[in-house]
Structure 1
Amino acid sequence: MKTTTIWKGGKAFDSFKENSKIEIDAAGGFNPKALLLSGLAACSGIDVVDILEKMRVPFANLEVDAETEQTDEHPRVFKTIHVTYRLQTEEENREKVKKAVDLSLEKYCGVAAMLKKNSAIQYEIVITQ
């Protein structure tokens, strides 16, 4: 994997991977640490979708929030990360959703594996009808 990141001025950069581009701006918008949290949410979300589909669990509207506080001293790193998985499914599927999240965070999500070396990751599941 390779990315190329080009300074646009100020605290703004464009980052490219093949034919895709994201904008990074520490003065407003997505800064590097917000991208890291988004990467965790997307990585785990992809796993959860794949696992639930393989388990044939019907669900809709998956939303993953990742939240953390940073240490006060430099380098300012993440403290405990809290991830909330919100999805629409039947309450009877909660254990299967929990299994999917556990598999993601413990086995499949490489972003979680890297972040866990410094920050504990906690999660909760919110099921809506």
Structure 2
Amino acid sequence: MKARVKWNEAMSFVAESDSGHALVMDGSAEIGGRNLGPRPMELLLMGVGGCSSIDVMLILKKSRQQVTDCWVELDAARAETEPKVFTRIHLHFVVTGRDLAEAHVKRAVALSAEKYCSASIMLGRGGVTVTHDYELRQAG
């Protein structure tokens, strides 16, 4: 996997992925940015959420669950001093669907956390406390 990050102006950078996608990252006004895009650490947190969400949805699809909506709310804490690494990340999944089996949702979240989500597992092995839980909502 490869990527390229190129300075644009001030504290704005354009990141390009190997798969041909691009996005803008920017710093806060306090460091000379113009708030044109998310901060790099925000992208890292969103990447953890995306990685785990893909796992959860693939597992639920394979178990033939009728998911109508799924999102993950992430809450993270960072160290107070440099380097301001993540010290804690919590992923709270909200899964909505018809006739959802709680056991399948619980299993999907656990498998992502323990086996499949390379992003959260990598950070956890690096010293970040990564926790997961879920909320089940039956669609009407």
Name the TM-score class by shorter chain: over 0.9
Determine what percentage of the aligned residue pairs are the same residue. 30
8 A Cα contact 1:91 1:127, kept in partner = no
For 1:25-104, what aligned pairs fall within 5 Å after superposition? 25-27=26-28, 28=35, 29-89=37-97, 93-104=101-112
8 A Cα contact 2:68 2:98, kept in partner = no
Q: What per-residue deviation string (whole Å, max 9, x for no partner) do you get for residues 66-87 of structure 1?
A: 1111111110111221111011
- Counterpart of 1:123 in structure 2 is 132
Which shows bigger deviation, 98-107 or 20-29? 20-29
- Counterpart of 2:32 in structure 1 is none
CA distance in 2, matches of 1:67, 1:26: 20
- Alpha-carbon distance, 1:89 to partner: 2.6
CA distance in 1, matches of 2:114, 2:136: 21
Q: 2:120 aligns with which of 87, 107, 112?
A: 112
* Amino acid paired to 1:120: T
Q: Which has the larger radius of gyration?
A: 2
Question: Structure 1 stretches (4+) deviating beyond 3 angstroms?
Answer: none
Q: What per-residue deviation string (whole Å, max 9, x for no partner) do you get for residues 71-128 of structure 1?
A: 1111011122111101113576122111001111111111011110221111221122
Which shows bigger deviation, 88-97 or 54-63? 88-97
Secondary structure at the aligned position of 2:74 is classed as: strand
CA distance in 2, matches of 1:3, 1:45: 22
In angstroms, what is the RMSD of aligned CA positions? Answer: 1.4
CA distance in 1, matches of 2:100, 2:7: 50
- Alpha-carbon distance, 1:3 to partner: 0.3
Which shows bigger deviation, 39-48 or 116-125? 116-125
Structure 1 stretches lacking a partner, 5+ long: none
Bigger relative contact order, structure 1 or 2, given CA contacts below 8 A and separation 6+? Answer: 1
Aligned residues: 129
* Amino acid paired to 2:4: T
CA distance in 1, matches of 2:99, 2:107: 14
